[in-house]
Amino acid sequence: MKVSPQVAMTLRQIMLMNFGFFGIQYSFGLQQTAINPIFSFLNPDPSILPYLNMAGPVTGLIVQPLIGAMSDRTWIPGLGRRRPYFLIGAIGCSLCLFLYPHVTALWMAVLLLWLLDISNNTAMEPFRAFIADTVPEHQQSTGFLMQSVFTGLGITLANISLYLLQQVGWLNQTSAAGIPYWVFGSFYIGAVCSIGSVLVTVLSTPEHEPSPEEMAAIKAQPSGPVHAIKDIGIAIKEMPTPLWQLASVYLFQWYALFVYWQYISHSIVQSVWHSTSADKAAYEQAVAWTGLVNGFYNVVTFISAFGLMWMTRRYAAKYVHAFAVTLAALALLAIPHITDKYLMFAPMIGFGIGWASMMGVPFMIVVHSIPKERYGVYMGIVNMMIVIPMFIETVTFSWIYKTFLGANPSNAMIFAGVFLVIAASLTVMIKTSNKPVGVSENA
> Does 218 fall in a domain?
yes
> Does 388 fall in a domain?
yes
- The pTM of the full predicted model, rounded to 2 decimals, is 0.79
> 106-134 and 140-166 are packed helices; what angle lies between their axes, rounded to 10 degrees?
150
Residues with Cβ < 8 Å from 284, sequence gap 6 or more?
180
Q: pLDDT digit string (tens) for 33-43?
A: 788 778 877 76
Burial of 385 (0-12, 13-18, 19+ CB in 10 A): buried
> Does 436 fall in a domain?
no
129: left (phi over 0), alpha (psi -120 to 50) or beta: alpha
Residues with Cβ < 8 Å from 237, sequence gap 6 or more?
none
> Does 437 fall in a domain?
no
Other beta carbons less than 10 A from residue 11's beta carbon: 10
- Distance in Å from the first CA to the final CA of the chain: 28
With CA atoms as reference, report the closest residue to 259 among 436, 404, 365, 74.
404
Provide the pLDDT for residue 4.
44
Is 436:310 a contact under the CB 8 Å cutoff?
A: no
Provide the pLDDT for residue 3.
36
Residues of the chain by 3-state class (helix, strand, coil), percent to 5: 80, 0, 20
> Does 298 fall in a domain?
yes
Q: pLDDT digit string (tens) for 74-102?
A: 888 888 888 999 999 999 999 999 999 88
Provide the pLDDT for residue 441.
45
Number of domains in the chain: 1
Is 345:361 a contact under the CB 8 Å cutoff?
A: no
Provide the pLDDT for residue 442.
44
> Does 433 fall in a domain?
no
Angle at 31 between CA 329 and CA 107, to 5 degrees: 125
Other beta carbons less than 10 A from residue 412's beta carbon: 25
> 140-166 and 280-312 are packed helices; what angle lies between their axes, rounded to 10 degrees?
160
Provide the pLDDT for residue 168.
82
What residues make up the domain containing 410?
11-427
With CA atoms as reference, report the closest residue to 362 among 305, 320, 402.
320
> Does 419 fall in a domain?
yes
> Does 396 fall in a domain?
yes
Low-confidence ranges of the chain (pLDDT < 50): 1-5, 440-443
What type of residue is 291? Answer: G
CATH number at residue 363: 1.20.1250.20
Secondary structure, 3-state, 378-434: HHHHHHHHHHHHHHHHHHHHHHHHHHCCCCCHHHHHHHHHHHHHHHHHHHCCCCCCC
